[in-house]
Amino acid sequence: MQPLMTANGICKYYKMGDVIVEALKDVSFDIFEGEFIVVLGPSGSGKSTLLNIIGGMDGASDGELFCDSIILHNANEKALTEYRRNSVGFVFQFYNLIPNLTAFENVKLSADISKTPLDSATALEIVELSDRMEHFPSQMSGGQQQRVAIARAIVKNPKILLCDEPTGALDYSTGLSVLKILKDFNQKFNKTVIIITHNAGIAEIADRVFYIKDGTLSKIVKNDNPLSPEEVSW
Amino acid sequence: MILFKKMYRDIRHSMLSYIACAIIIMIGLMTYTSMMMARDNLISARDEFYTEQNFADGYIKLTGAPSNIVDRVSKIKGISHAEGRIIKDVRVIFENEKRNVSLRLVSGINDGTINKTKILEGRLPLQGEPSAVIGTKFYKARRLHPGSVLIIASEGRKIELNVSGSGQSPEFVFAIKNNLDMLPDPETFEIAYVDKALAEQITGMQGKINDIVFKMDGSRDYKDIEREIKDDLRAYGIENVFAKKDQPSNSMLNEEFKQLEKSSQTIPVIFLMVAAIILYIMLKRLVEQQRGQIGIMKAFGYRYSAILSHYASYGIVTGVLGGILGGIAGIWLSFVYTDLYKVYYSFPNLKASVSFGYFIGSIIVSTFFCIIAAYIGAKNVLRLSPTEAMHPPTPSFGKKTFFESIPGFNKIFTLQGNMAVRNLFRNYKRTLLVLLGIVFTFALMSSMLSISSLFTDILMDHFTKVQQYDIKVVFSRPSDSLDASSEMKSQNGVMKVESLFEMPAQLTRMNYKKDTIIIGLDSSSQLYKIYDTKGNITPVPDDGIMLSKHIAESLNADVGSTIVINSPYANDADIKLRVSCIINQNIGSNAYMSKKALGKITGSSHVSTSLMVLADKNAISEIKDKYATAKNVSLIEERQETIDKYNKMMATSAGSIWIMALISVFTVFAVIYTSSMISLEERRREISLLRLIGMKLSEVMEIITVEQWIIGIIGIILGIPMGYMFNAGIVKGLSSDLYSIPTQMGMEALFQSAMGVALAILMSNIWLRRSVKKINMIESLSAGVRE
């Protein structure tokens, strides 16, 4: 089976004054279509840097990265924009919704620029927010806002859904409902979902868990019997 | 000191916006200080020169009277001294010169004590010597020197006139031939100051005078003296009596002072206001952004006044910088202005001097404006308690705008467009201020461009639609038009000839009085067309009098009103006439009658003062050559020559108008750029997200640019009536006997100003695009502030 994404020896260096900080060191992996992956690591381990590189927000300093047939490691800004536009969807810890757009408009904004989008209303239906379409972010709870953010990400029908601490700002039950939506999306649409978190409890729902420590991918653990979100606790 | 460092670093962070603000202040104050200093230089030169040369208090223009009439004038109570003079225009003949060149002979150079001529080069003419002191501008333009010889034509003779030197009288500081010449043209007109005996010889007016100047002793009001002069000298053919304030050169100078004062009081205020708007927007945003820091300072125990002073210091730095730059630039520009005035006003003692009062004043005014703007921008956040200030502000409540409830409104814009509309409403106070800045700047730009273009239009209309003749032959005294016309008609190439009678008169209605020239035309005149206020050609009726709109307003007269006329050419005094029509006259301001009706007043309908001639091109120069030395011809005016002169004049003023327009474009740019930069800072996170989800730079820019275009277009729309108001104000101020500009906005000016705003928006887009490109998505999005 051909991997959807392949990383070979990815490194990322930051220059801070005279000091060079190595945020990622020789990271290699394959990710397959329809996988549910959790990237687990403590704060400062380099997991967000990895997400930035996988998501085409940042480039690697060294190594190779491919997604489908797209070469990401030496892509220019234009190619990265195209990649973000058509291949990935993002979900953030703090939702990052546009405050002066309604839930529907936030989703449609994303759908409008995609090649093969889902219907915006359908995306909101998937996240069970059909009744909040005309609400502005400030009129919704945190969980509702996060669900809009998920709808905004999945409406593009991306190959990969990247989620950075999607439950980090939510209480347990709301976080659980968000995980359920992500898992459903993964299973129903056979889409790859990558969750970045420091919450070890969430790792149990993943097909594979990538452990990041001090900028290195210390181990990859395959989960033969992933649990459903309802079965995990943190 | 620490807070000073903080302020310095903050300003450095948004350097371009603060510099733009300081430059706008500089422009405003530069305009103010330069105009006021130039005005002061002119006033000081005028006062000194008028006093030194004993400038006359009153003037009497006569058709011709015995010299001893001066004694009668001197004896009038309230007059301390009077002097009689001969004043007459003579043509100067230069080889290969196609233009009409003339000198105004003014007698009394040797013995006159009123309006004395200051000798600037050479010497006074000796008694009996056929020499003249020539006005300094003509003297320089024609490269004359003591001993040069000019050939003049008068009374059908060519006379050699020696040049003894150059000089200047206070009476001809602004030397123009007649009211139609708006600016002096030193190569074609100046004054020749001669001895009385020589003037008599040249003009054939032995023992006569046609002009009296007098000084008053202050014991009596001018109006009473004028009334007595008119009563006493009625039999001698008084053309006009006027006070010092109405003396043409002095009146032009006073008009200039009025314009300078008006401009210096309005233009700088607009620029200072726009600068204050920018500073207010910037500081309000800065204070909001530094809310947490303010909370910490308060928690540490900083007093309200200390924090307020800190934020006021941003205004002080900008204000002082703008004030100093404005003061320095103003001093420099005042030198340029004064040099420019030297071209038009012949004050021998006019020099540019620096007034530190205005310099210091500029700094105080700009600092005051900026402190007020800073205070208003900062006060609300500063009033918060430390805990409130340290908390992030309550998230703005997103809501649909009123316009979105209008069916179909949402379909006008894309989703990005709708975002732009909501952003405008999200910070509506800022939007309104930016709008205000654009409205005022657009209005200023459009009104200036409009007046400039309307001025050109009315000049061209006058010389193409009103005056349809090629040449005007002006007689030295009223002559029989039948003989003159038939002689002119016999010339080769002459297609049409009509005569014209220009009669000086005083028009009176109740307490309103107006001195003017009544123009007598053939009822069916083809070479001089008159237009009513609706723009339709209207023939001169055989009874009654037509008044220009300006004169009608001066007399508070309307169609049907009765006007009383007094003229030295009229057989009777106090002739009553009915106003038959109010007409539109943009250049000059006259009353019009048919020659037939005028004949009833003067006793002959065949008398004329000039001939209007329509001729082919080749015939024009032949006629000019033939009549150059004719006894009864004082002047030949050629239409094309006048048009060329005006075009040259308009080209000179067009430069300064365009500089002002460019300054306005920069101002609109500064307002739009500053507000957009602030908006960009506020929405950095939002923009990063849009870039993250894959929006191209151009798609993100669409949101920002739609905002700018919406605000720009609304600014232009609202700027039109504001521009109209500015225009009406300026036109009212400019309206005089010389010209009246219609109170309408030229479409071309509106279009050019709209293009100016568009250019400013495009420039701002280019700068903003660079800033958007530089936004670091990861940094902006990882700032965990919950919207």
Q: Residues B329-363: pLDDT tens digits?
A: 999 989 988 988 888 899 998 988 888 888 888 88
Q: Which position has the token pair 């005083």?
A: B506
Please check whether residues B198 and B219 belong to one and the same domain.
Answer: yes
> Residue length, chain A?
234
Q: Which residues of B touch A52 (CB under 8 A)?
A: 778
CA angle centred on B502, ends B497 and B507, rounded to 5°: 145
Please say if the pLDDT value at position B300 is more than 90. Answer: no
B contact test, residue of A57, A58, A76, A98 with most B CBs within 10 A: A98
Please check whether residues B645 and B588 belong to one and the same domain.
Answer: no
**Nearest chain A residue to B694, by CA:** A85
Q: Which residues of B touch A84 (CB under 8 A)?
A: 692-694
In a domain, B688, yes or no: yes
Q: Do B415 and A52 touch (CB under 8 A)?
A: no
Three-state DSSP at B636 gives strand
Listed in sequence order, the residues at least 6 apart from B192 whose beta carbon sits closer than 8 Å to its beta carbon are B90, B103, B104, B105, B106, B132, B133, B134, B135, B150, B152, B161
Distance CA B499, CA B482 (A): 9
Residue range B43-57: mean pLDDT, rounded: 95
CA angle centred on B757, ends B753 and B758, rounded to 5°: 110
Q: State how far residue A86 is from chain B, nearest Cα, in angstroms.
A: 7
Please say if the pLDDT value at position A102 is more than 80. Answer: yes
Q: Do A137 and B398 touch (CB under 8 A)?
A: yes
Please check whether residues B657 and B570 belong to one and the same domain.
Answer: no
Distance CA B326, CA B338 (A): 17
Please check whether residues B154 and B245 belong to one and the same domain.
Answer: yes
If one counts the domains in chain B, the total is 4
Distance CA B402, CA B580 (A): 56
Residue range B24-28: mean pLDDT, rounded: 87
B128 vs B552, more confident: B552
pLDDT digits (tens, 9 = 90+) for A146-191: 999 999 999 989 999 999 989 887 888 888 999 999 999 999 999 9
Residue range B55-70: mean pLDDT, rounded: 93
Average pLDDT, chain A: 90
Q: Which residues of A touch B784 (CB under 8 A)?
A: 93-94
Distance CA B250, CA B261 (A): 16
Q: What is the CA radius of gyration of chain B?
A: 33
Mean pLDDT check: name the lowest of A13-27, B202-216, B373-387: B373-387
Residue range A89-106: mean pLDDT, rounded: 85
Q: Which residues of A touch B415 (CB under 8 A)?
A: 101, 105, 108-109, 112
> Dihedral through CA B619, CA B182, CA B210, CA B206, nearest 10?
-50
Please say if the pLDDT value at position B787 is more than 60. Answer: no
Please check whether residues B470 and B372 belong to one and the same domain.
Answer: no
pLDDT digits (tens, 9 = 90+) for B633-678: 878 888 888 888 778 777 777 777 788 788 888 888 888 888 888 8
Distance CA B562, CA B180 (A): 29
Res. B391 pLDDT band, cuts 50 70 90: low
B650 CB-contact burial (10 Å; exposed 0-12 / middle 13-18 / buried 19+): middle
This model of the complex carries an ipTM of 0.72
Distance CA B709, CA B160 (A): 69
pLDDT digits (tens, 9 = 90+) for B433-465: 888 889 988 988 898 888 888 888 888 888 888
Distance CA B131, CA B146 (A): 10
Of B614, B639, B664, the position where a domain reaches its end is B639
B624 CB-contact burial (10 Å; exposed 0-12 / middle 13-18 / buried 19+): middle
**Nearest chain A residue to B425, by CA:** A100
In a domain, B294, yes or no: yes
Residue range B24-52: mean pLDDT, rounded: 91
Q: Do B781 and A86 touch (CB under 8 A)?
A: no
pLDDT digits (tens, 9 = 90+) for B498-512: 999 999 898 999 889
Q: How many angstroms separate the Cα of B430 from the Cα of each of B46, B277, B387, B445, B672?
A: 48, 9, 26, 22, 11
Q: Do A92 and B694 touch (CB under 8 A)?
A: no
pLDDT digits (tens, 9 = 90+) for B467-481: 889 999 988 778 888
- Residues of B in CB contact (< 8 Å) with A are 395-400, 414-416, 418-419, 422-423, 426, 685-686, 689-697, 699, 777-778, 781-782, 784-787
Share of chain A above pLDDT 90, in %: 56
Please say if the pLDDT value at position B785 is more than 60. Answer: no
What does the pLDDT read at residue B349? 86
Of B334, B362, B394, the position where a domain reaches its end is B394
In a domain, B119, yes or no: yes
Q: What share of chain A is helix, strand, coil (3-state, %, to 5)?
A: 35, 30, 40
pLDDT digits (tens, 9 = 90+) for B414-429: 777 778 888 888 778 8
Please check whether residues B75 and B162 belong to one and the same domain.
Answer: yes
Closest partner residue to A98 (CB to CB) among B395, B419, B782 is: B419
Please check whether residues B371 and B501 belong to one and the same domain.
Answer: no
Please check whether residues B681 and B775 belong to one and the same domain.
Answer: yes
Please check whether residues B415 and B267 belong to one and the same domain.
Answer: no
Closest partner residue to B778 (CB to CB) among A52, A97, A113 is: A52
Give the DSSP letter string of B558-592: -TT-EEEEE-TT-SSSSEEEEEEEEEE--BS--EE
Q: What single-letter DSSP state applies at residue B400?
A: -
pLDDT digits (tens, 9 = 90+) for B694-704: 888 888 888 88
**Nearest chain B residue to A51, by CA:** B778
Distance CA A123, CA A133 (A): 11
State both tokens at B395: 């998230």
Q: State how far residue A218 is from chain B, nearest Cα, in angstroms.
A: 25
For A184-203, give one letter per residue: b (16+ CB within 10 A) or e: ebbeebebbbbbbbbeeebb
B739 vs B205, more confident: B205
Of the candidates B783, B700, B769, the one whose C-alpha atom is nearest the C-alpha of residue A81 is B700
Q: Which residues of B touch A99 (CB under 8 A)?
A: 395-396, 398, 686, 787
Q: Do B397 and A136 touch (CB under 8 A)?
A: yes
Query: What ranges make up the beta strands (E) of A81-223?
Result: 88-91, 160-164, 192-197, 208-213, 216-222
Q: Give the number of A-B residue pairs with CB atoms closer than 8 Å.
A: 92
Q: Do A136 and B686 touch (CB under 8 A)?
A: no
What does the pLDDT read at residue B204? 87
Of B185, B217, B250, the position where a domain reaches its end is B250
- Residue B141: count other Cβ atoms within 10 Å of its Cβ: 14
What does the pLDDT read at residue B784? 46
Residue B610 in contact with residue B475, Cβ under 8 Å?
yes
Please check whether residues B682 and B758 belong to one and the same domain.
Answer: yes
In a domain, B404, yes or no: no
Q: Which residues of A touch B423 (CB under 8 A)?
A: 100
Res. B786 pLDDT band, cuts 50 70 90: very low
Q: What are phi and psi of B251, to 5 degrees?
A: -65, -40
Three-state DSSP at B238 gives strand
In a domain, B401, yes or no: no
What does the pLDDT read at residue B396? 58
Q: Which residues of A touch B695 (CB under 8 A)?
A: 81, 85, 113
Q: What are phi and psi of B68, to 5 degrees?
A: -70, -5
pLDDT digits (tens, 9 = 90+) for B111-144: 889 999 999 999 999 877 889 999 999 999 999 9
Q: Do B693 and A109 touch (CB under 8 A)?
A: yes
Please check whether residues B442 and B481 belong to one and the same domain.
Answer: no
What does the pLDDT read at residue B224? 93
- Residue A44: count other Cβ atoms within 10 Å of its Cβ: 12
Q: Do B782 and A169 touch (CB under 8 A)?
A: no
Q: Which residues of B touch A139 (CB under 8 A)?
A: 397-398
Three-state DSSP at A138 gives helix
Range of the domain at B165: 59-250
Q: Do A100 and B691 touch (CB under 8 A)?
A: no
Considering only the C-alpha atoms of chain A, give the largest distance between any 2 of them, rounded to a whole number of Å: 54
Give the DSSP letter string of B124-164: PPPTT--EEEEEHHHHHHTT--TT-EEEEEETTEEEEEEEE
Give the DSSP letter string of B1-19: -HHHHHHHHHHHHTHHHHH
Closest partner residue to B694 (CB to CB) among A93, A113, A139 is: A113
Helices in B383-461 by DSSP H: which ranges? Answer: 386-390, 409-412, 415-426, 428-461
What does the pLDDT read at residue B624? 81
Closest partner residue to B419 (CB to CB) among A81, A96, A101 is: A101
Of the candidates B180, B60, B106, the one whose C-alpha atom is nearest the C-alpha of residue B463 is B180
Residue B699 in contact with residue B690, Cβ under 8 Å?
yes
What does the pLDDT read at residue B309? 86
pTM of this prediction? 0.73
Please say if the pLDDT value at position B208 is more than 90. Answer: yes
**Nearest chain B residue to A104, by CA:** B415
In a domain, B211, yes or no: yes
State both tokens at B424: 């405008």
> Residue length, chain B?
787
Three-state DSSP at B524 gives coil
Distance CA B572, CA B63 (A): 16
Closest partner residue to B395 (CB to CB) among A101, A109, A138 is: A138
What does the pLDDT read at residue B387? 64
Q: What single-letter DSSP state applies at residue B58?
A: E
In a domain, B770, yes or no: yes
The secondary structure element, H or E, covering residue B20 is helix B15-52
Q: Do B786 and A94 touch (CB under 8 A)?
A: yes
In a domain, B188, yes or no: yes
Please check whether residues B760 and B783 belong to one and the same domain.
Answer: yes
